[in-house]
Structure 1
């Protein structure tokens, strides 16, 4: 890709810089609707990293340019022009320089970050970058681009291509709340593969780190600054919260205007927490018969199907009797073994923990986490046994084995052997630094199964298990090791 600024323009910019002109004033002469010239590019010309071999224009040439200068016409964009894809927008950010190599044109900025490699076992740096970009303006993460000189070096293998975006998303959901939106692409620059993650600006910031891990601190707010992702400074946090409050006020005013247009006497306010609908002079509840006739959609747009009226609701809906007592909570979810495991490893505060425990009777997996949900429900073992025993068993063996675990008659403990022995020693000594890069996932899982009574350093163990789950993919044997490690 050729330089977007001509040598003649670079020479003129150098001449203007020599006269002491400011970047913002120089931009006025060279910005066009189809090709903006940002301040960062002018700074690169100033310090010699862009167009270093181009000589400055003579004073005569500069005077002639200024005398004949006309501001670029501003027109209406061609509405029929194709909208650039994420991949196209990403590729446009690279340029080929005089040495024949390709570079990220503007280097690392507040909207783009470079990483030379991608390791599916070490995704914390990606999580950190995603959080920082989402809290600022959004932007790109480029993988296969050296972060020192921003030169394209290419990804050495197909790990990024073969990593499902769901795996990256699960990692992000583990460490960030709320979860930012991002897109995964792979592009070719100069014949080399470059991985791309495009992160959307989060509409209602901040995105907050919710767990401690390598490079991530529980409760921290990360922000993208030129050249780095770091903890947010007070001034930027203040501006972010002010912008958020202004947006909330705008939404509230729009709702108030809508209410005024409809009229308070013809409006209903739905309280999804209390499962009530109120008018100015009455409160409505949803009874059993109505609940049986409605289809509740937790996400998506309002949809009307003949004979099946639908309500789009956020939250849960309670069926109530005539006295307003809750009879049943209707929830739109289907629990899976992987979902139960994710909830345990991320210490999710689920609303119905005994339901998660009872999944042990409904799946083939026989080593689901149970005691975390038992404690979360503040239930006794006797109550948990009663609840599980009363669950319809899809897999009788799974249910029987789960009941044995609750009764203390079954354990996944296994003495370490072979490659698991040195790994177990590292865990007991608190040396987890190199284990995320350990190639033998099964040995790690066996070492976790061998942890002795009294071991209490579990946070890094949870990180290991999450990493093993991420890398297991569809490998049933690897997943089995993760479940046994619980």
Structure 2
């Protein structure tokens, strides 16, 4: 079988990655040596002799490269030179929970990576084969640094058996391809509108919750929203009893008198880290506070404001917040850490450094005093701001001046958030403020 280069070939591999035909393409043997492969590492195959969770950062780099390319196979149990099938230690593989692998990949790469793994018997030997699917949206960007293998902010691509930083031309092609896919999706929408007729078409404005079209309005009830999932056509899956709803074609117009009061209309929009942070610092009265809490479960860090949004939703106990988080269908580590925060592992405060502390402690002590004296500003340099963020965690509830701190943090967020080492300090600082000000009593 030819390598999966053409679109049809790629679709075949993606739909049946572990079929006998596809596995036979990977395991092609030398005619005179029953255990030696003639298959080489390529843009879609990587061989490793053993599987070890200690090498997970190295694996994540290759997995990111496959996801940014056309997908590919990661095979454990094949020597490098010569490429003999020797089998792998299944105990190490079976001791590693697939959920743990997914959590690490999601946290390290910032998006959910789709993969499948199976133990395959080849010439009487057991090997582990992972299939990594092509990412739905590209590029996949490293969200964290791990040793020398994974560097935060870098994009990896697959080149003839090697996973390395993407070249400019390939990145440009990747972005152009994503743009073409988006344009094609828009064209499909426009064709459907033309087929249906503009007079019979209405759109949902996710910024207002209203329907746009002749005489049409859509209202989503607060109580119903938690049971509603929007899905892509062709990607319908329902797991663990989680309800999913696909809206097709027609939405009935309900007389306004049946939905009272109008305040129940829920504003639905894309919520990500900037919206969570800015909503908290601006003390925005968001229409869907529970969705902000749920979104934290999908972010790369669980140390984000949650109690402010629980307060907006009228939730007054930690148990009720935990139920909201437990209802989120994800295996991400952020959800796990968030639940740990809710049962007590949530104290982010730092002790005030003593007068004779080391240099870093002295800087933090100085910045704490500067905060109390309202002396810091949005024009401070990054080193000053980093020490100030550490100092914020020394503040007590009585010392918090939201009118001064929140605008200052907003300026620092816009100016320095992308700098190395800054995001974690910033998130923990505002999570500390959120905990002091809005956390329900035990």
Q: TM-score, normalised by structure 1?
A: 0.51
- C-alpha change, 1:320 and 1:378, in structure 2 (3 Å) is farther
Q: Which residue pairs with 1:143 in the alignment? A: 76
Alignment partner of 1:204 out of 133, 137, 144 = 137
Q: Which residue pairs with 1:227 in the alignment? A: 161
- C-alpha change, 1:309 and 1:136, in structure 2 (3 Å) is closer
Alignment partner of 1:109 out of 17, 25, 42 = 42
SS at match of 2:178: helix
Q: Which residue pairs with 1:255 in the alignment? A: 189
1:358 aligns with 2:318: yes
1:240 aligns with 2:174: yes
Q: Which residue pairs with 1:125 in the alignment? A: 58
- C-alpha change, 1:359 and 1:132, in structure 2 (3 Å) is farther
Q: Which residue pairs with 1:275 in the alignment? A: 209
Contact 1:287/1:321 (8 A) holds in 2: no
1:369 aligns with 2:421: no
Q: Which residue pairs with 1:184 in the alignment? A: 117
SS at match of 1:238: helix
Distance 2:79 2:135 in 1: 27
- Measure how far apart 1:132 and its partner are: 0.4
Contact 1:270/1:277 (8 A) holds in 2: yes
SS at match of 1:149: coil
Segments of 5+ residues of structure 1 without an aligned counterpart are 1-34, 40-82, 314-318, 390-398, 400-486
Contact 2:229/2:244 (8 A) holds in 1: no
SS at match of 2:50: coil
SS at match of 1:122: helix
Contact 1:94/1:104 (8 A) holds in 2: yes
Q: Which residue pairs with 2:262 in the alignment? A: 322
Distance 2:92 2:128 in 1: 10
Distance 1:259 1:195 in 2: 47
- Measure how far apart 1:165 and its partner are: 2.0
Matches within 5 A, 1:27-38: 35-36=1-2
Deviations 1:209-238 (A, max 9, x none): 111112111111100110200001111111
Distance 2:86 2:237 in 1: 48
SS at match of 1:124: helix
Larger Rg: 1
Contact 1:209/1:221 (8 A) holds in 2: yes
- C-alpha change, 1:252 and 1:197, in structure 2 (3 Å) is same
- Measure how far apart 1:149 and its partner are: 3.0
Q: Which residue pairs with 1:388 in the alignment? A: 440
- Measure how far apart 1:302 and its partner are: 11
Q: TM-score, normalised by structure 2?
A: 0.56
Segments of 5+ residues of structure 2 without an aligned counterpart are 6-14, 249-258, 267-285, 311-316, 323-338, 349-423
Distance 2:244 2:127 in 1: 48
Distance 1:104 1:190 in 2: 11
Distance 2:98 2:186 in 1: 35
- C-alpha change, 1:279 and 1:181, in structure 2 (3 Å) is same
Structure with bigger RCO (C-alpha 8 Å, 6+ apart): 2
Q: Which residue pairs with 1:430 in the alignment? A: none
Contact 2:142/2:151 (8 A) holds in 1: yes
Q: Which residue pairs with 1:296 in the alignment? A: 228
- C-alpha change, 1:168 and 1:37, in structure 2 (3 Å) is closer
Aligned residue pairs: how many? 295
Moved more, 362-371 or 242-251: 362-371
